[in-house]
C-alpha cells in the first residue's frame, strides 16, 4: 500500500509488532514518520490484507490529528465501492492502537514509475487517467471529494489498472472533526501537505485557501496527466510561497509545446482540466473520461508508443482554457489570496 516517502520524512522507529487486533503481521510494507503499513493475515477469512496504523510514539497532539485522519480515511473510502478505489475492509482501535484494514495491493505507486522515468504510451496515459476520472466521478456522486490527488496516491496494479489511495483529508458527509468546515481548507490541507509532500498538485483555489469541490480533484488529476505526458510537473519551484503563487496565477506551457510528439487532443484535455477558473474545467470526472475515451476510440492508429500527433482533437468539445491575464479582476483576487495563504502557511510551518 501507499506510504509516505521515508527519505523525505523524519524516520521514527516503531515498536516491533506481531499482531494488530485479530490480524497476524507478516512483514512491514513501508514506513514514514507518521506510521507504517503492514502486510497481515486475517486468520478468520484466511486472506492477506494491508494494515495502516500511526506511530504510537507521536505526541498526544500529533496522535489526535493523525488518528482523525486515519478514521476519516476509513469513513470516506469505506462508503465507496469501485474497482479503481482501494477497498477499506475494517477500522478499529485495539490496546491504544487505531488502524484501518485495506485490501492488499501488489504493484507500485504511480509516483515511483514517474521517478524512474517510465515511458508511458499515450494510449496508456489516456486509459489510466480515464479510469481515475471515472472513479473520482463515482466518489463525487457519493459526496466524497478526495482533495489530495497526486501520483503517490494512485497505485498501479498491473498494466493500466489504477487504484486511488489515501482519503485521509477527503471531504465526506461523515467526516470526523472537520473543524475547518466553515473557514476553508487552508490550515488542514497545507499542514497535511507539508508533512507528506509539496502542494504541487493543488488546485488554484486550494493554493489560495479556498474550499475545494469536485472540480479541484479534476484540476489535480489534470496536473498528474500533465506530468505523465511531459515527464515534468506543471510548476517546478522549491519555495512553497512561490509555488502557490505560480499555481494561482500562471498557466504552464501546453504539453504538446514541450514535447511535439504529444497528441494535441491529450494536451488539450490536460490543459482544460487545469483551467484556473473552476467553471472553465470539466465539471465532473465523467466528462473528462468521455473525452479520453473519444481519443482512444478515434486515435487507434496513433497508439504506437509516442506515435503521430493526433488529428482528431476537433471531435472533442473545444473550450480553450482562458489565460489568467485575460481576466484581471479574477487574477487580482487570486493574487491577494495567494499572498495571504502563503503567508499563513509560512507562519504555521515555522
Phi-psi region of 95 (alpha: psi -120 to 50; beta: other; left: phi over 0): left
Q: Give the whole-angstrom CA distance, residue 203 versus residue 220.
A: 6
With contact defined as beta carbons under 8 Å apart, do 1 and 102 qualify?
yes
- Strand ranges (E), the chain: 19-20, 23-31, 35-42, 47-54, 88-94, 97-103, 108-109, 154-156, 162-164
Q: Give the whole-angstrom CA distance, residue 241 versus residue 249.
A: 12
In 3-state terms, what secondary structure has residue 96? coil
Of 317, 254, 313, 283, the closest CA to residue 133 belongs to 283
Task: Assess whether 46 carries a catalytic annotation.
Answer: no
Annotate 138-197 with DSSP letters as a single string. Answer: HHHHTT-B-S--SGGGEEE-SSS-EEE---TT-B-TT-TT-TTTTT-SHHHHHHHHHHH-
Of 165, 169, 162, the closest CA to residue 289 belongs to 162
Active-site residue identified among 42, 137, 148, 291:
148
In 3-state terms, what secondary structure has residue 53? strand
The catalytic residues are: 148
Amino acid at each position: 500500500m501507499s506510504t509516505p516517502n521515508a527519505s523525505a520524512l523524519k524516520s521514527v522507529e516503531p515498536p516491533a509488532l506481531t499482531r494488530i487486533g485479530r490480524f497476524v503481521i507478516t512483514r512491514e510494507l513501508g514506513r514514514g514518520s507518521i506510521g507504517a503499513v503492514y502486510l497481515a493475515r486475517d486468520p478468520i477469512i484466511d486472506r492477506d490484507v494491508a494494515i495502516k496504523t500511526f506511530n504510537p510514539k507521536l505526541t498526544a497532539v500529533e496522535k489526535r490529528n493523525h488518528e482523525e485522519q486515519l478514521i476519516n480515511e476509513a469513513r470516506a473510502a469505506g462508503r465507496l465501492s469501485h474497482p479503481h478505489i482501494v477497498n477499506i475492509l475494517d477500522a478499529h482501535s485495539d490496546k491504544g492502537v487505531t488502524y484501518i484494514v485495506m485490501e492488499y495491493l501488489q504493484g507500485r505507486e504511480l509516483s515511483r514509475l514517474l521517478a524512474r522515468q517510465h515511458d508511458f504510451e499515450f494510449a496508456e496515459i489516456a486509459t489510466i487517467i480515464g479510469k481515475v476520472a471515472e472513479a473520482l466521478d463515482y466518489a463525487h456522486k457519493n459526496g466524497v471529494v478526495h482533495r489530495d490527488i497526486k501520483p503517490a496516491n494512485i497505485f498501479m496494479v498491473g498494466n493500466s489498472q489504477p487504484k486511488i489511495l489515501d482519503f485521509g483529508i477527503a471531504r465526506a458527509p461523515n467526516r470526523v472533526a472537520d473543524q475547518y468546515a466553515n473557514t476553508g481548507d487552508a490550515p488542514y490541507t497545507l499542514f497535511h501537505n507539508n508533512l507528506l509532500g509539496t502542494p504541487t498538485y493543488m488546485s488554484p483555489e486550494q493554493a489560495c485557501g479556498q474550499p475545494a469541490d469536485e472540480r479541484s480533484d479534476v484540476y489535480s488529476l489534470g496536473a498528474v496527466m500533465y506530468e505523465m505526458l511531459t515527464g515534468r510537473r506543471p510548476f517546478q519551484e522549491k519555495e512553497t510561497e512561490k509555488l502557490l503563487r505560480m499555481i494561482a496565477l500562471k498557466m504552464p506551457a501546453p504539453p504538446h509545446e514541450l514535447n511535439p510528439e504529444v497528441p494535441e487532443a491529450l494536451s488539450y484535455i490536460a490543459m482544460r482540466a487545469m483551467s484556473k477558473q473552476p467553471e472553465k474545467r470539466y465539471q465532473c470526472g465523467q466528462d473528462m473520461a468521455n473525452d479520453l475515451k473519444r481519443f482512444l476510440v478515434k486515435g487507434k492508429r496513433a497508439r504506437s508508443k509516442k506515435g503521430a500527433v493526433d488529428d482528431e482533437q476537433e471531435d472533442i468539445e473545444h473550450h480553450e482554457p482562458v489565460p489568467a491575464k485575460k481576466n484581471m479582476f479574477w487574477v487580482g483576487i487570486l493574487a491577494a489570496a495567494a499572498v495571504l495563504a502563503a503567508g499563513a502557511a509560512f507562519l504555521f510551518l515555522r
